Structures are given as C-alpha cells and as structure tokens.
Structure 1
C-alpha cells in the first residue's frame, strides 16, 4: 500500500508528514529501552528491517489482476518491540521512496504513517492482547503475531480511507471506497498473517529469546561464565542480560542468507499485478490522479538496476543493494537510539549460542 504522489492534496500530505515525524521522534526515544536490553538488539533490528524490505519485493496474487505484499509492521513489532519495529519499517519505507521510487516523495509521510506507524502499533497491541489469553509460552507468539498482522492490514486501509475523506484528490463515494479497500485488504491481511506466522515461528523455534513479545515468559538459556562453567537461566524469571548477550554469528549468517535469497533470487518471480490500493484506485477511477515520483529516474527505480538487460539480474542486484542499505542504516539507528550502554558489573557471562 505505497501511496503515490497526487492521491492526497498538499495540505493532507504535509499534515501526515508532520504527524509521522512526530511519532518517529517519539519512537527514537521509546526504542532506547528496547534496544538497550541486550547487545543482540541492534543486529536483530537490522535483520528484521532487511527481511521486511526483501519480502515487500515479493508481491503475491490475491485475486484476478490483484496482488498484495507484506507491510511488516506487526512482524517487526513482535520481534524487536513496537517502537524499534516502527523505526525498522520506517527505514524501509524511506529508502524505498528515495532510491527505488516506490511510493511518492511528497507522500512519504503518508506512507510512513500507514505502513510503519499504524501496522506496528496496531499489530503489536492486538498481538499483546492475544498473549493475555493464550498460554504463557513462547510458542503462543505465533498465533498472536498472526492475528496482529491480520488486523493491522485492514486497519491501515481504514486509515487511508480517513485520509482520503479529508484530502482526496478526486471526489469519491466514501462508502464504496471503504468497501473496496476493506474487502481487498482483508484478503491481503490473510497473506500478511501467514508470512508473519511462518517467520515468527522460525525464530521461536531457533531463538525464542530474541522474540521481544515473549521475552518475559519462560525461555531456557544456557550461559557460560569466563571460567568455562555453564548454567541454565530462565528469561523473565532471571535477568538474562547479566552479562554480554550475543546473537551468534551463525544465526546471523543464516538469517541474512535467507534475506539475500529472497531479495536477490525469489524477488524476480513476484506478481506483476497491481497491489490492493492501486487496483482499487483503478476500479474507482482515481488512479489517474497519481503523479510520477520525483526520483522516478533513479538508477534503481522500480527495483531494477539501470543498464542491466537481464531482468532477473537487474532486480536481484537492486534487491541485494536494498538489503545492505537497510541493514546498515537500521543497525546504526538502533545503536544511536540505545546510546552508550552501561557495562554490567560483576559477571561477564556470555550466552552460548
């Protein structure tokens, strides 16, 4: 649901830009607690952001002539926290607009508000509410995250309808717009829920301690002291960050490898059909109000490197470049948000991974 330039008037676009900037500013402050908990937080935030970027390249068909793609806010929030997750998707949206001409430049605030803010905060709130009634164990994060993802997509569609009611570029029957947007985005939300469940399930199965939504629940870990002795601790019952926690280079390499395969290879088989918003705009007759992005001539526009004739190679290289940039920028932001972490006193235990 990347809104192009022209769908909303200038006043509304400016207002959404101001609102998005204000929320991102709050997120930078609130994310400090989330990313300062463990040294694994910054690389995990970078991996999550790069994964969202890669999977957003993979449009999946949802109907005749229509496609959808992951928005990722609920997924990111469940894994790294709502504020860090919001920042992760914001980085994705900003780089998409400025380098890949995906979403309008004047509509950047609108897209951050819709794709990052609404999905992360709504998705996390729903997932956290679900955890209140589900069994208190890490595996419960999978259905909780799926539900959060499912709800976040139509919620975002409704926010778009509200913005269009205030400053839409063309007169429309708002009831019809609401029906179309909700109808298609509920279906897209099912795809979002499936992708989110599979991803969270994979992390829970391998490193449940990295899933922030369930870090308070019982997760057995083995930590090794400097003298070589080991003991088991329980996340939530014991301060797991007694020493320096590490994410593990093997786990990072595996996760990054999956991301690169998705962006560099699988992206070439993504559906070319218009996404839900574009399809609705075409059906209701306001697609012609869309304007070309100011960076439409980017050498990486439309996720293809200019000058490379092979479309698979052109898309793959653009995807790999995007993954690298998103990863680096998000890790830098996470470390900046965390500030200087005070080193724990006493034990210098590190987690065995």
Structure 2
C-alpha cells in the first residue's frame, strides 16, 4: 500500500499532502494536551510506532503474484487513541520512506493520508460503535478489517485516476493503470488476504493487552498509563525475531514496482514520469544492510527502527518531564 514516487503526479501528491496536513497538525495539538496530563504517553508513542513498523514488515502473498501486509492502524487507535495513533503511524511512515526506501518521499502525503489518517480514525470509529453495544471484540475485527480496506480503496482510486488527469499525447505520464484495474487489484488483495491478516494481528495483540493490562486500552475519558510497556516489549522482540518471515512472500505489491519491474510488465513502455521522475536512494533500501545476509539485514533494520522510535519517545518524555503525571 506504500505508493512509491512517480506513480502519482506532483499535483496529486500536493493535494493529498494538503489534505493530510490539517489532521496531523490537529493530532499534534491533541497529543500535546495528553502529554501535559500524562508524560507516560511518550513511551506508548514509541511502542505504537514500533508495532506498526514491525507489522508492515510481514509481507504475505496475495492472488496475482503480488504481496500485501498489515498496518496496525486500528490497533494503535485502540491502544493510544486515534490522534496519537495518527502521529505514531506518520513517524513510522517517515522512517520507512527516508531510511528504508519503503514508500515515496513525494508521495508521503498520500501514504500518510491513507494509512495514518484514514485507518486509525475509521477503524476507531467502527470499534467505538461496537463497544457501545458491548461487542468490543467484534468491533476490533470489523474495525481493523474495514479500515485497511478503506485505505486500500483510496490508494486504488489515487493510482487509477492518474491516466485520466496526467497524460501526454494520450499516454499516461505516471501510473499507467486505470480505475478498472487499480481498484479491483487493491481491494481484491486486501479483502481476500491482507484484511484478515490485519484483523488477526489486531485481535491477538488486543487480547494480550486486555489480559495483562485492560486499563491501558484507550478511552476519551481516561488517562492511559504504561504499566504493560515492559510486557509488550516481549511482543516487539518476538516480531523482530520473526520479521524475516516477511521475506518468504515473493513478488512486489501492486503499484509498488520499480521502473525496471514495470518495464517488464509493459514490454518496455514505462511512462515518462516514472522513467525520468524523482529518485531517492535510501540508506538501507528494501530493509537490507550492506555486508549482511538478507534475513540478518531484515532483523537489523527492525532493531534500528525500534531503537529510533525509543530514542524519539525518550526525547518527547524529557521535553514533558516537568509536567505532572496523573498516572
């Protein structure tokens, strides 16, 4: 679901970035208020970003020879609230793009809008509706399943509109596939496979938290603490160790092909905007570490990301250290 650079026109990237910006700004303001009430939210932000990052490393095969992955948007919203979840997902997406080359730099606005805004807010709204009727677990399943499919649908629409809005002499400049292909491809992969993977991870971790620290689940009227942070670190460790399983899925996710891969699909007819577009070489592209085996590089990439999120959370906590915690 990570849209690469040059698959969306610059205008599309700008529009989606402008659409995402107010929500992120509002999320920052909301989280600042929460941090004033409870500085212990800071490590929770680091845990949340780590959870999402690690879940996105587990690629699974989908029909058509491509792959997909979970995101954890609804899970994070259930744990720390939709606004904090939106920020944690945004940080995870920024790190993926700049350090690991997963998702485009220019397309960050689109990826943030789809995965860091639509997913946590849609998923949490559905979960809250079911919770009001005392059907929390069902709300977790339905919310997580529908939220990732909502994000996939939007990604399919964004990609599929490109031949209509950005072409030259009748030839697409960016993503070459229209809505009749992109929407079914994105929705098919997520309705059939990725949505259930998302629901599985969400329910498993939700039940774990519900068992070890039920008071940690977010509600608008309570202030969360972090009594289960040490316990959930074991979940992170397990995900890190198991992360190379994500390498077992062969194929590139739909719409995330390199120019060379797309050229092989189109018999060399790569759209000009993709062939000659913006290029950014990430330090650890595709989660590989130079001089190491692929599996080891994958684990080291996971460890690196978690450490970065930990450092960021420590900085945020220290910046709010003078505030009084009510936890």
Distance in 2 (CA, whole Å) between partners of 1:170 and 1:78 is 35
**Aligned twin of 1:155:** 150
Structure number, greater radius of gyration: 1
Distance in 1 (CA, whole Å) between partners of 2:182 and 2:294 is 35
Deviation at 1:103, TM superposition (A): 0.6
Distance in 2 (CA, whole Å) between partners of 1:260 and 1:198 is 15
**Aligned twin of 1:258:** 235
Residue 259 of structure 2 is aligned to residue 296 of structure 1 = no
Structure 1 pair 316–184 and aligned structure 2 pair: CA distance change class (3 A): same
Structure 1 pair 259–43 and aligned structure 2 pair: CA distance change class (3 A): same
Deviation at 1:301, TM superposition (A): 1.5
**Aligned twin of 2:216:** 210
After TM superposition, the score normalised by the length of structure 2 is 0.82
Judge which range, 318-327 or 162-171, deviates more.
162-171
Can you list the C-alpha shifts for 1:204-250, whole angstroms capped at 9, x where unaligned?
1111111104x76xxxxxxxxxxxxxxxxxxx6xxxx6xxx8524xx
- Of 265, 286, 306, the residue aligned with 2:290 is 306
Q: How does 1:237-256 map to 2 (within 5 A)?
A: 247-248=226-227, 251-256=228-233
Structure 2's unaligned 5+ residue stretches are 164-173
Judge which range, 65-74 or 121-130, deviates more.
65-74
Contact 1:91 1:330 in 2 (8 A): no
Structure 1 pair 329–115 and aligned structure 2 pair: CA distance change class (3 A): same
Structure 1's unaligned 5+ residue stretches are 217-235, 345-349
SS of 2:62 mapped into structure 1: strand
SS of 1:116 mapped into structure 2: helix
Q: How does 1:23-172 map to 2 (within 5 A)?
A: 23-63=23-63, 65-135=65-135, 140=136, 142-168=137-163, 169-170=174-175, 172=177
After TM superposition, the score normalised by the length of structure 1 is 0.77
Contact 1:99 1:295 in 2 (8 A): no
The number of equivalent residue pairs is 306
**Aligned twin of 1:14:** 14
SS of 1:71 mapped into structure 2: coil
Structure 1 pair 330–119 and aligned structure 2 pair: CA distance change class (3 A): farther
Residue 304 of structure 2 is aligned to residue 321 of structure 1 = yes
Deviation at 1:293, TM superposition (A): 7.2
Distance in 2 (CA, whole Å) between partners of 1:341 and 1:181 is 45
